[in-house]
Chains A and B, each alone.
Chain A
Amino acid sequence: MIATSDAAKRLAKRKRADAMFRLACLVAAFLGVVILVLFIYKIIADGISRLNWNFVTDKLSSRPGRTGIWPAVAGSLYVTGLTILIAVPTGIAAAVYLEEFNTRKNRVTEFIQLNIANLAGVPSIVYGMLGLAVFVRWMALKQSVLSGGLTMSLLILPMVIIVTQEALRAVPRGFRDGSLALGSSYWQAIRYQVLPSAAPGIFTGIILSLSRAVGETAPLIVVGAAAYVAGAPKNLGDTYTVLPIKIFDWAGEAKHGFNEDAATAILVLMMALLVLNSAAIYLRARARLRR
């Protein structure tokens, strides 16, 4: 009798521990959401009052509360556009080489693969130093939009390769075999069968990589993006600034009353990212429907 009540007590204790553990896990999982909500609330509360169309289209000014951000927006668009032009084709081609042309895993591909995984873990600021030494000084591109775009391209290239490889891997083997059996070449099979069916996955991954590039700040500071420029860049050799650098600059100058402007700029940046991310989610959902 005593033994059974002991066992019952032990069982009750174990069940209590189980319930506590479950609660701890639940709290931890919801904490992220709570923080996200606090984040968004704080930024809206600080920045909404300054948000209007003129803020986006006006020039930079040294007077808090009177400034616009157009040169920074244009700079961000310029750098991102260059990154798309450079990193996307290179990344897709590299992934096609690793997944499609080199199906027999040999030493070279294995080495490249390991190398890409390592590059993805290199701190972004180190890419900035690479860009500073190679593009800004050695190639004498100076503190131009072009050297910013090139640096950013190198930074997101490993990510573009990895996401494209994942999308290519999800294409069933039969698509390639079927095409090859009908007499197509490898490249024709890739061009007309594999790439089109992997396209939604590739786009999703690339959009997510780009949204990382849009928010990236540190490497561009190192390659010399300015904190202040008179106007939007007009060609590849012009000096520039980008939205995250402006946010960094204003947040750091809080004493001078720029923190509201920083919050408003964050709102603009986050809205741009939200559009990008929604596009990615939409593409992913549509790809799932088709399957």
Chain B
Amino acid sequence: MARFHSSKGLRTISEWTVKRFCFICAAVSIVTTIGIIFVLVSQSIPFFRTVSPVDFFTGTDWSPTPEPGKFGVIPLIYGTVMITIGAGLIAVPLGLLSAIFLSEYAPSWLRNFLKPALELLAGIPTVVFGYFGLFFVTPLLRHVIPAIQSSNALSGAIVVGIMILPLVSSLCEDAISAVPRSLREGAYGLGATKMEVTTKIVIPGALSGVMASFILALSRALGETMAVTLAAGSNPILTFNPAKAIETMTAYIVSTSKGDAGVGTVRYNSIFAVGFTLFVFTMMMNMIALRLVKKFRQVYS
């Protein structure tokens, strides 16, 4: 009896320990978030002591070298937005159409072939996309635009578009297949064709989910680093010419970290200010997407 009792006491203690341990592990995620915000803010402060935030956010000249350098972040934001929009122009329509094909048209054997293929494409490391942009997409584009630079905005946008295509497709497909069968049947019963059912019933019904998937994919494009560093270059200029090299916020962070900027210099601190700007951009997009997803779930459950 006594033995039973003590083993039960031991059990309660080990139970408590395990639960605490699991809680601490879950709390790591909170610490990570706090850590990210703290690091980005605290490391940006020395930078903003030398460069005023107004100059930073409104300046159109980004030339960190030679000292003391000019730090107007607009060209980097412009480069980032240009890549993101370009990638969106490719991935959004193609991703949505392929999601429609997978969920509405494809027989199951074809689905079982196409879906793993898209998953494989999604599993390719981003640096490989960069290689592909540099040595496949750009040479191809050179046939059309002979004066194209070897790293250029167009090639960067294309490879990032290809990269986020599987993401758009699979998230859209999830949203589309959550639309209840009965809505489709109702429209078919009224004599609608498949296209009419899809464009007038299914897509409007899944709209908030579809929009959320677009935003999530675009925020991935925004934070994408290796593919754009290789394919789009590191040349912070404001240009409307897609055949020229540009620089994104992420590419700047990478090229500065691997370079020779000494700890504590303005150039070194500037990566945190740029990182902070990037973080705020993606965070806002993710928040909007999560809210849309929540709304979408409420509609159908």
Give the interface of A toward B (CB within 8 A). Answer: 14-15, 17-18, 21-22, 24-33, 35-36, 38-39, 42-43, 46, 89-91, 93-94, 96-98, 101, 111-112, 114-119, 121-130, 132-134, 137, 154, 157-158, 161, 185-187, 208, 211-212, 214-218, 221-222, 224, 227, 244, 247-248, 251-252, 254, 259, 262-263, 266, 269-270, 273, 277, 281
13-54 of chain B: CB within 8 A of chain A: 14-15, 18-19, 21-23, 25-30, 32-33, 35-36, 39-40, 43
CB distance from B167 to the nearest CB of A (A): 11
Encode contact with A along B219-246: 1 for CB under 8 Å, 0 otherwise.
1101111100110000000000000000
29 pairs of residues in contact across A and B, judged by CB atoms under 8 Å: A18-B196, A21-B199, A25-B101, A30-B114, A39-B124, A93-B26, A98-B26, A115-B33, A116-B29, A118-B287, A121-B283, A122-B283, A123-B282, A125-B225, A126-B223, A128-B257, A129-B271, A187-B15, A211-B123, A215-B124, A217-B125, A221-B257, A221-B258, A244-B226, A248-B127, A254-B150, A263-B135, A266-B131, A269-B128
B101 engages A221 (CB within 8 Å): no
A216 to B21, CA, bound (A): 29
Size of the B side of the interface (Cβ < 8 Å), in residues, is: 89
B94 engages A28 (CB within 8 Å): yes
201-218 of chain B: CB within 8 A of chain A: 216
- Interface SS, B side: helix
Complex interface: chain A residues within 8 A of B36 (CB): 122, 126-127, 129-130
Given contacts A115-B29, A217-B225, contact A270 B254 (CB under 8 A): no
A157 engages B254 (CB within 8 Å): no
CB distance from A22 to the nearest CB of B (A): 6
Task: Say yes or no for B88: interface residue by CB 8 A criterion.
Answer: no
B135 engages A130 (CB within 8 Å): no
Task: Say yes or no for B275: interface residue by CB 8 A criterion.
Answer: yes
Given contacts A32-B117, A126-B40, contact A244 B125 (CB under 8 A): yes
B105 engages A22 (CB within 8 Å): yes
CB distance from B52 to the nearest CB of A (A): 22
Complex interface: chain A residues within 8 A of B27 (CB): 112
- Within the complex, which residue of A30, A96, A277 is in contact with B120, where a contact is CB–CB below 8 Å? A277
| Closest B residue to A93 using CB positions | B25
| Closest B residue to A222 using CB positions | B257
| Closest A residue to B193 using CB positions | A18
| Closest B residue to A31 using CB positions | B94
Complex interface: chain A residues within 8 A of B220 (CB): 121
A215 engages B29 (CB within 8 Å): no
CB distance from A88 to the nearest CB of B (A): 11
A161 to B116, CA, bound (A): 23
A185 to B12, CA, bound (A): 8
Given contacts A25-B101, A29-B114, A263-B131, contact A125 B250 (CB under 8 A): yes
B219 engages A121 (CB within 8 Å): yes
| Closest A residue to B257 using CB positions | A222
Complex interface: chain B residues within 8 A of A115 (CB): 29-30, 33
Encode contact with A along B184-199: 1 for CB under 8 Å, 0 otherwise.
0000000001111011
- Within the complex, which residue of A94, A126, A132, A281 is in contact with B29, where a contact is CB–CB below 8 Å? A94
Interface centre among B136, B169, B193, B257 (most CB of A within 10 A): B257
